Amino acid sequence: MLTASEAAAQLGVKLGTLYAYVSRGWLKSYRRKVGRQALYRRSDIEALRGVIAPERGVRARSLPDASSWVTVAQPPTDGSPTGVIVAESAVSSIIDGQLAYRGYPIEELVERASFEEVCLLLWGGERPRPEEVDHLRASIAAARIAPPVVAALAAVGADAPPLLRLAVMMPSLAAAEHRLPARSRIDQARMIITVLSLGLAAVARAAAPAAGDGGGESAATVPGMAARLCERSLGGGFTAADREALDRVLVACAEHELNASTFAARVVASTGADLYASVLAALCSLSGPIHGGACDRIESMFADLDAGTRIDQMLDAFSANHSLPPGFGHTIYPAGDPRAALLKRVAKTTAKRKGRKLFETALKVEEAVWKRERLRPNLDFYLTVCVRMLGFARGMPAAIFAMGRAAGWIAHSLEQYADNRLIRPRMRYHGYPLRHW
């Protein structure tokens, strides 16, 4: 018996190609009685090598490269059951705990780039020209939603969860598109980004603007996604500092390689469906509590603490349910999520203007979880803290995450369209053996 690495070496192929041969039925793998490692019979490997690798000058029938007919899946090098590689991408990278968009470190982008610049960077691959950024910002400021979208939003009601309101916009936008001259995918991308903030009811506010928030701005004078969101949800009392803080949050949320929602978007794009369908698929994936529900659970946690629950009681309850505190730990960042560290700085600065209560509670929770579980906060934790400190209503952190991440969903869909191959993975069957009716 040979291991996967030994078998691939004998065949002279990559591991992904070896696994593809198994999925096509050209090679059989076996499992150890103890452990999960797949093994391969030496005789099977030698027989297959005679097909794919001609010897002694005899030309044999060659099998096509696996990547030409199947999505290649490669297991992680650390032996963990998650993190299977299924595609290549130039949109973002996570290498040794360092996140980068199109090669630019996330730290530099959160500090220096606007959300509109990041959108265009992710979609086009290069730093955009100032006039391109100005055009996108002006489009966001001037955006209006078509009657079919207005009708769909009215049907779900102003009290519908923000994520649901975003989701119902997508098929309505697609319906409105059929009544217009055909537009390019990049124009569809701009359309999605420009109207997303309009799907949130203007009444979705946590409270009136805090006293002392003078010097308010408006989306009419400062175009862009952050300004439009503040206008729709906070009214006219937001400040330049509030808008800047929200812009930092959107940049931090914009992209994160191939998570569940991004993979959903790419799968739909691989079928040739339009961008509206791809973004809708991502939003539907995000609606699941395991992927997109962390912000809501974090908000509930802070609500319990406000109601008088002690932090140690809260952590005891999580332990009793065999669950971790929401907003802590990340499989890709065992040493800590760099996005959380960046948004923690945003929250610290915001606390000086908005009051320190929520921020200080967050610090106490972070310290307690570290002492007890040795876990650092992830993006969701300080995203929720920042958004609620700015005055947005409950349920809005998840929606703001979605609006930021839409930039990445679109970028991945555009990349899939550009060099498309239908994403059609295989599954390993472990049901009944073949039987007869």
Indicate which residues carry an active-site annotation.
291, 330, 380
Q: Give CA–CA dist 192/54, Å, rounded.
A: 53
What is the torsional sign of CA 407, 412, 415, 416? negative
Q: Give CA–CA dist 162/396, Å, rounded.
A: 6
Residue 25's Cβ-count burial label (10 Å; 0-12, 13-18, 19+) is: exposed
Helix (H) or strand (E) holding 350: helix 338-354
* CA-angle at 29, arms to 25 and 32, nearest 5°: 160
- Side chain identity at residue 175, one-letter code: A
What is the torsional sign of CA 406, 193, 278, 92? negative
**Side-by-side strand order, sheet with 38-40:** 2-3, 38-40, 30-31
The two three-digit tokens of residue 129, written as one number? 């020209």
**Side-by-side strand order, sheet with 98-101:** 92-95, 98-101, 104-105
Task: Return all residues near 34 (Cβ < 8 A) that are at least 6 apart.
Answer: none
Helix (H) or strand (E) holding 112: helix 106-112
